[in-house]
Amino acid sequence: MLELWDFTHISVTQNNLQELKEIWDQWDDQSSSYSTVNMVIYLIY
């Protein structure tokens, strides 16, 4: 049987992983946008 502490620890860990995934996804989206802009600039010049 899980104690309250165990449940809280699991919940906090899952929240941290979710936040990390969201940050990673956001960074990946921004990185992709920057890459596209750089490619357009490269093609113009």
45/21: higher pLDDT: 21
pLDDT value at residue 13:
67
**Each residue's pLDDT tens digit, 3-41:** 766 656 666 667 777 887 888 788 777 666 667 777 777
pLDDT value at residue 30:
65
Domain count of the fold of the chain: 1
pLDDT value at residue 39:
73
DSSP string covering 2-39: --HHHHHHHHHHHHHHHHHHHHHHHHHHHHHHHHHHHH
Q: For residue 13, give its domain range.
A: 1-44
What's the CA gap between 32 and 40, in Å, rounded? 12
pLDDT value at residue 18:
81
pLDDT value at residue 27:
75
